[in-house]
Structures are given as structure tokens and as C-alpha cells.
Amino acid sequence: MLVAGVGTASAAPGVTPADVTLKLAPGGSTTIAKTVSTPAIPPKPDIAFLIDTTGSMGGVIANVRTNANTILSNVASAQPDAQFAVAEYKDAADATPFRVAQDLTANQADVTNGLNSLAATGGGDFPEDGINGLFQVASGAVGFRPNSSRIVLLIGDAPSHDPSNSHTLANAISALQAAGITVLAFDLAGLDSTGQATAITEATGGRLFSGLNASEVSDTILAALRNLPVTVTHKLRDCDPKLTVSLTPGSREVTSGDDATFTETVSVDAGAAPGSTLTCKVDFLLNDVLSPGFTETITEHVPKVTPSISTTPSGEAPAGGDVSDTATLSGGYHPTGTVTFQLFGPGDTDCETPIATRTGTVSGSGTAASGNVAAGGVGTYRWVASYSGDDANNPVTSPCGDEEVKVVKATPGITTTPSGSVPAGGAVSDAAAVSGGFHPTGSVKFQLYGPGDTDCRTPIATRTGTLSDSGAAASGDVTIGAAGVYRWTATYSGDDDNNSVTSPCSEEQVTVTPQRLTGRAYGLTASASLAGLQLVNIARTPDTGPVSTTSTGTTSVPCTATLSGLISAHALCAKVATTEFPGKSVATASIDDTTIGITGIPVITVKTIKSSSTTTCAGSTGATTIASLKVGNTVVISEPTTIQPNTTVNVGVVKLVLNEQIAFTTPDKGLTVNAVHVKVDALGLAKTDVVLASAESDIGNCP
């Protein structure tokens, strides 16, 4: 049954209008009449011939064969993606009560061959087995494509057994509905004699054609395929969240070839950004199939808004001083962009020729500033502020004469900017800017005062900088000494148009920070293990622990008189000494004598070893002296010797690194010096790692 809002198609298949362009304000909406012109044959049709081929059907089969090319060509010309299948049914008593002669294919020759393979034979009694044929087609015997318009052409002259091959009429209808199949039934004087064809076509949304003779079948098939019900629905796709689209009704059912009409409502969210472009696509589906030409594109251009602009010029200024302007935008939509500020000189009451132009970026609060502009002589100046506009806002300009600034004679002022905090021994500087005068010239005298001179009485350094055309002067660098708080003063000399001016004491403080001095020293550390058994485990002995300071001082631990066991040593000492300025860290470690006697490893004896590590801001140095060193019977060092850095000696399985020096930069730059580093890592022997006389120094916060 057709519903309201449909009619005969007057346009090519597709949606009208397919492209909609709108300019709705935020919060606005409109309605659009949509017409969906359906094709004469439903889209993506999968058409299966299901023909009774018992003995009485010879004439019908011949008619279908004769006109097969016409049927197939007409359908394919309307829907090029159409596919066809051919199946037959007979009586349960026949040898083959059901057969698929040709599965779905777009090859018309294969479909024709399938029809030509049908032969009218068999059929022992009046009812046949059409219900079984329908059940088989709906249950997978024919491979319908996904999302296709599935149509079965049921052609016969007798009702079906019920049940048919154990399938009832209800079974067949349920299977057809589950598969989404529409049945068109063609009754050759008997197919609907028990009402079966009526029940099937009504349950599947199809049609029954009764009272046909054999010569009318092919023409009736063509007409039936062009008068099928089509359900038109719609889905939204790729829609901006600020754009709402709805259509009424949700769906329409029309006869293929007719128009379905909808009322489309498009609404723009009140929070949509002015100047933005919102889009949405509406797909119109025919029997749940989307075909080319059935997608509508909606494009909404949200109109821009016009903000208002208010301005606040700077107050009265001295000759040669700075004037400025500030603009505030209101009533727009999160305005961005820039404001162009133009300054007009005395006498230019119509704001015709600007003497200065500045551009300020609009902040998140809608304000923009011109920045300072140096004015000239005495008089009344005028500002004009012009907002550029952006994607959401239109341009706007303040009127001439609304922003007047008076320039009068005055005394210049001085502002200063000292350098930031520096490490001891670094360089400090000062910069001055003379403002508020009229083209000031001359020089600025910079005086630096040491820590404790809080009244700026006795300068420790004096520098003079020439005033530039922009009113700036610089002291240049002054090398500083120890840590503390230093103070600058800056005195502008004045000239014919400007008075002298001095910055106050203590307004320009520079903090000089001390070096960070760190280090560590220890006499000995050792570990040895064999087959998972710990033989030796000696922590750092004696150990100053990590030392970190900014002051001058010494950290030492009592010397360890004796260590005994597999590793023995005497007079083990460690010390870290620091100097505040110039910063220096010195770590030292020493052992009088050491014997390493691990089972299976040659005995190692070392006499009087000393290591030192020294670090200043200029870098790190290290040194190691060894009186004697012997591995088993091998003499490595026989007399007191100053060892070259990272001297490696291998004696059998024993690896020795003498004066091992390891530079590092994290967290500060420094050096670790190990007088002797013994390693044994050989299969079957105790894994041994021994460090003798280790000294580490480092320094941070250097200039």
C-alpha cells in the first residue's frame, strides 16, 4: 500500500535537491522539501527464477526461454548491477525435486543457459513441491549478495504439498522473511488454488499475478519487476555536531519508479561558531541499499557577527615621551586577529595622515594594545583603532576624535634592567632606558656596589654608556667576584632638553651564586663470588660519603687501621676538601699496603697507593702514585711511580686498570679517579671486582 507524500516520478533517479547551501544564524533552523525519485527497478536486484518444471509447464518454460534475453536486458539496462539465478522444483516423487540450474551471476549468457537447461518432466500428482523450493532458495541454495534487493519469481500451475519435503508453508515464509526476499508469484491456473501463493506474497511484500496463460508470463514478469514496493529510508553521515538534521517521516514505501517525499529540518546549534562551515551528508537508502546519486550534501555557512570596539588612550605625556592605546572588543564571537592603531599629530583633526602605525594581537579577553609610541612636541594627538576581523567576526573601526592625548613638557624618567643571577666569577651588566623626555641625548653612568653596601656609598666599578637614539644605554660586562647580592645605580647625565635622573639604590640587585662543590672518597671496596657463593663483600671503607657544599671546608673520616681476610689492607684514608671561591673540590684517598688473596687467583700485593681528583670551573685533573705492585710472581711496578691515566695491565686472568679516570657531566662535571681497579672474570674462577683508593670531585654552577 502506498502512503501520503508519494507520486509519479518526474526526474531521473536520485535525491532532489542533492546539494543544499544555507546561511543560518546560530540557533536558527529551516525546513527543506526533499524528493527521492526511485528507479523503475529496485537497486542492486538479485532476481531468482524459481520455476515448476513438471510435465504441464512446457509452454511456460518455452515462453520464458524465448523472451529471456529481453527480460534480462531490460532489467540490466535499468539496474546495471543486477544479477540472476535459475532454480527449478518438481514433485517429491521425482528423482530431483529441487535443483539450482544457475547460481547468481551477472553473465546473461550463463543465465540463459540455465533457463535452457530446464525440461518439463515428472509430477505424479496435482500438488508439487514449491514450498520446499522456496525454503531451499531462502536457506542458502542461492547465494544472494549482502544488501541486495532480493526477488524470487515463483512460476507454477499447481499448489505445493504442505509439508513439502518436511517443510511447512510457515517454515518457508519464515525463511523468506529472514532472508529479506520478496516473492512475485505467477499463477498458471492453479498455483494459488489453496491460497498458498497469496499467503507467501502478502507475507513477503510481493504480488500475485493470477489467471495467466503461458504466452503472458514473460511480459508479466517484466511489468512486475517495474512495480515493486521500495522502502526509502535515510541515514546521517559525517555530520558536524553543531548541525542537527532530521527528516519526517522516518521512511516511505513507494512503488519502484515513483517519488518519495520528506520534510527535512536543519538546525544550527546556538553555540555554533560564526563564520564556521558545518556539513552533513544524508544517505537515502532504497531497500537498505545506497546507490550513487542518492546522497544529499548540506553545507551551512554560519554568518559572521560584528563586534563593537571601545578604546582607552594613555594619559597626558611629556614631550618626547611615550603614548599608547588599548582597544577592547565586545559583542563578538571570541574575536581573534589584530587591531591596527594609527596615531595622528596635532592639527590633523580629521585623522587623515598617521604619524605612526602599530599592530596589536587580540588577547583571549578581547583586548589589544598598541605598545608605546614616542610622541613629538607639545599638542593634542589622536588615536584611531581598526579591528581586522577574523573568520567569525567582521571588521570595525573607532571614530576619529574619540581618543585624544595631550603632550606637555616634562622631566624624563629612567628605567633599568640589570642582568640576571650569575655564578661567582661571572659577568654582570646593567641597561638603562631614558623615557619621557624629548629626544634625550648624552650618557648614563653605571655604578656597581658590592655585598653589604646597601646604601650604595662606595662603588666597586664604574662604567659609562652612551645614550642611543632610542634612549637606551648599556654598562657592558663587569667581571664579578665572590657570591652575594650586588647593586647597580644608573645616572642619566641630562642634556639641553632633559634633566638628569638617577635610579634609586637597591632597585637593581644582582644575585651572584656560589659554586656547588661535591665529591666523595673511599679507601677500598671489593666483591668476589664463585658458583653463586659470596666469598668477599666489602663496602666502601673508609668512606666520606657524598659531600655537597657551597662553602670552604674539609670532610674526612678516621683512617681504617687494618682490614683482614681474603683481602687485607692497612692505613686506609679518605678526604674531601672544598674552597668556596674560586670554587675548587679536591678528593684524596690512600692505602699503605694491600694484599688480595682470592682462591685460584694469583696473590696481588700493592704498596703505598694514593689517588686524587681535583675539579674547578676550568676542568678536572686526576693523579695516582703507586709505590709497588705485584701479581703472583709478576712485578708490575717496582718503585714509586706516577701512573698515566687509564693504564691497563693484564697478568694472566687478572685485569688491572691503574689510575682509572672516569669523567662525567651528570649532574655536574667532574672526575672519578680509581688508583687500582682489579677485575677477574674467567670461567671456573671467582668473579672478582676490587677498587683501591677512589677519589671523586665535581663542581656545578660555573660561569
Residue spans per domain, the chain: 6-40+230-301, 45-225, 308-408, 414-512, 516-700
Residues of the chain scoring pLDDT < 70: 1-11
- Among residues 401, 396, 276, 408, the alpha carbon closest in space to that of 351 is found at 401
Separation of alpha carbons 86 and 106, rounded Å: 12
- Using CA atoms, how far residue 200 sits from 153, 205, 474, in Å, is 12, 9, 101
What pLDDT is stored for residue 316 in this prediction?
Answer: 87
Cell numbers linked to 678: 682489579
| CATH number belonging to the domain at 45-225, selected among 3.40.50.410, 3.30.365.10, 1.10.10.10, 3.40.605.10 | 3.40.50.410
CATH 2.60.40.10 is held by the domain 6-40+230-301: yes
- What spatial distance separates the first Cα and last Cα of the chain, rounded to whole Å? 93
Helix, strand, coil: what percent of the chain each, to 5?
Answer: 10, 50, 40
What pLDDT is stored for residue 198 in this prediction?
Answer: 97
| CATH number belonging to the domain at 414-512, selected among 1.10.287, 2.40.360, 2.60.40, 1.20.120 | 2.60.40
User: What length does the chain have?
Assistant: 703
What pLDDT is stored for residue 4 in this prediction?
Answer: 33
DSSP string, 247-287: EESS-EEEETTEEEEEEEEEEE-TTPPTT-EEEEEEEEEET
Q: Which residues pair with 416 in a beta bridge?
A: 432
- CB under 8 Å to 546, separation ≥6 — which residues? 518, 520
CB 678 within 8 A of CB 689: yes
- CB under 8 Å to 558, separation ≥6 — which residues? 542
Question: What burial class does residue 176 get, using C-beta atoms within 10 Å of its C-beta: 0-12 exposed, 13-18 middle, 19+ buried?
Answer: buried
Q: Which of helix, strand or coil describes residue 190?
A: coil
Q: Which of helix, strand or coil describes residue 174?
A: helix
What pLDDT is stored for residue 215 in this prediction?
Answer: 87
Cell numbers linked to 582: 674560586
DSSP 8-state secondary structure symbol assigned to residue 288: T
- Among residues 239, 237, 248, the alpha carbon closest in space to that of 290 is found at 237
Instruction: Kindly compute the dihedral angle of the four CA atoms of residues 115, 117, 121, 123, in this order, to the nearest 10 degrees.
Output: -60
Question: What burial class does residue 286 get, using C-beta atoms within 10 Å of its C-beta: 0-12 exposed, 13-18 middle, 19+ buried?
Answer: buried
- Using CA atoms, how far residue 155 sits from 50, 321, 457, 519, in Å, is 6, 102, 120, 102
DSSP string, 201-239: HHHHT-EEE-S--GGGHHHHHHHHHTS-EEEEEEEEES-
- Among residues 370, 281, 364, 270, the alpha carbon closest in space to that of 325 is found at 370
CB 89 within 8 A of CB 129: yes
Cell numbers linked to 158: 499447481
- Four-residue CA torsion sign, 73, 216, 151, 96: negative
Considering the domain 308-408 in this protein, what is its CATH number? Answer: 2.60.40.10
Q: Global pTM?
A: 0.47
Q: Which helix (H) or strand (E) holds 116?
A: helix 108-116
Within this chain, domains 308-408 and 414-512 share the same CATH topology? yes
| Amino acid letter, residue 34 | K
Q: Which of helix, strand or coil describes residue 421?
A: coil
- CB under 8 Å to 630, separation ≥6 — which residues? 604, 605, 606, 636
